[in-house]
Amino acid sequence: MGHFWRVCLLAVAVPLLVGPGSFCLASEKVQAQPEPESHTKTYFSKSRQEFAVHYRYGSEAGPTLLIVAGIHGDEAGGYLAAERYTHINPVKGNLIVVPRLNRAAINARRRHGLGGDMNRLFNLPASSRNPDIRVVNLVKQLIRQSDYVLNLHQGYDFYNPRWISKTRNPTKWGQCNVIDTATYHLPSGRKLELGQYATQVVHRANRSIENGDYHFEVNNTNTAVKWTRHREQRGSLTYYSLYNQQKIAVGLEVTKNCSLAEAVSYLTIAINAAIEEAGIQVDSLPSESVQAMAHLAEAKVKPISRAKRKG
Ligand SMILES: [Zn+2]
């Protein structure tokens, strides 16, 4: 549950619990709650699965956006981009940032961690014997605290809903916002308009990208329907976020067909757009220019093998 909804629920539930007549007392109690302080917490310290979570709270109530990166260890653009948000100060709303989720995979510069492809483990039960299940279970708790979820990735070539060429077609993952469905119907009758949100994020991002070859597209994988080509995505973090916790979840994919600095720049553009479209205000967003990423020496990251082509 996001901060905004937690505050609303508390404001409604506390007076109800203590009964009429004590409303003022209850309100004072609510007001006495200290503002949550931004902080960083490390989980599974000194193990091969150690990772940090950066909780960044705004003073004004608003939605909470969770940014997860490094679920695949061979997609350096994702975790380098996410690390640029670990000290952001929100004014309205909150950010929860997990830059390097799959530590074992990142250290090995491989897609898979200790328990295989972590982005296929989110449909396992909490009691599963997969070695990565404790990491997955913790992320599920973070998703519960959020309203929006971003999972950052890097893949080869360019997604396009139509077949343009061998490197630009519906089977590719680069430069797209991945959603599992356009509209999700909540039991209450309300709808989560993921398609609308992803489209607005794409439009906002593309305004900052001069070269049209690198414009983002919305990639609706229609994961739940029988005829989907992406059945495997039913184990993904974003699919779990939407179908189990009813959160607006988007996979942000940038291409590997560019320099690392450019990839981080494209991801920064997409994340900034997602933050703004979610209605979260921060004191200052990271720079989107490639020059700002010039310090990212390519040598810092081992050359990415072209053998792995998944996003
Ligand atoms: Zn990936």
pLDDT of residue 15: 42
Residue 252 alpha carbon to ligand 1 centre in Å:
9
Residue 73 alpha carbon to ligand 1 centre in Å:
8
Low-confidence ranges of the chain (pLDDT < 70): 1-34, 297-311
Residue 31 alpha carbon to ligand 1 centre in Å:
43
Contacts of 127 (CB under 8 A, 6+ apart): 133
pLDDT of residue 18: 41
pLDDT of residue 22: 36
CA distance 69 to 150: 8
Residue 25 alpha carbon to ligand 1 centre in Å:
50
Residue 162 alpha carbon to ligand 1 centre in Å:
22
pLDDT of residue 230: 87
116 phi/psi in degrees, rounded to 5: 95, -150
One-letter amino acid for residue 176 of the chain? C
What is the CATH code of the structural domain delimited by 35-300? Answer: 3.40.630.10
Residue 39 alpha carbon to ligand 1 centre in Å:
27
Report the C-alpha dihedral over residues 209, 212, 215, 219, rounded to 10 degrees. Answer: 170
pLDDT digits (tens, 9 = 90+) for 209-243: 999 999 999 999 999 999 988 889 999 999 999 99
Residue 153 alpha carbon to ligand 1 centre in Å:
4
Task: State CA 90 to chain mean position distance.
Answer: 17
pLDDT of residue 242: 97
Residue 310 alpha carbon to ligand 1 centre in Å:
7
pLDDT digits (tens, 9 = 90+) for 108-122: 999 999 999 999 999
Q: Exposed, middle or buried: residue 145 (CB in 10 Å: 0-12, 13-18, 19+)?
A: middle
pLDDT of residue 309: 53
Residue 71 alpha carbon to ligand 1 centre in Å:
7
Residue 34 alpha carbon to ligand 1 centre in Å:
38
Residue 30 alpha carbon to ligand 1 centre in Å:
42
Helix 237-245 / helix 133-144 crossing angle, nearest 10 deg: 50
| Tokens read off for 98 | 């997990």
Residue 72 alpha carbon to ligand 1 centre in Å:
5
CA distance 58 to 96: 11
Residue 183 alpha carbon to ligand 1 centre in Å:
24
Residue 144 alpha carbon to ligand 1 centre in Å:
22
Residue 22 alpha carbon to ligand 1 centre in Å:
52
Residue 103 alpha carbon to ligand 1 centre in Å:
14
Judge whether 55 and 40 are in contact, CB under 8 Å: yes
Residue 111 alpha carbon to ligand 1 centre in Å:
7
Residue 119 alpha carbon to ligand 1 centre in Å:
8
Q: Exposed, middle or buried: residue 96 (CB in 10 Å: 0-12, 13-18, 19+)?
A: buried
Helix 194-206 / helix 260-277 crossing angle, nearest 10 deg: 130
Residue 11 alpha carbon to ligand 1 centre in Å:
40
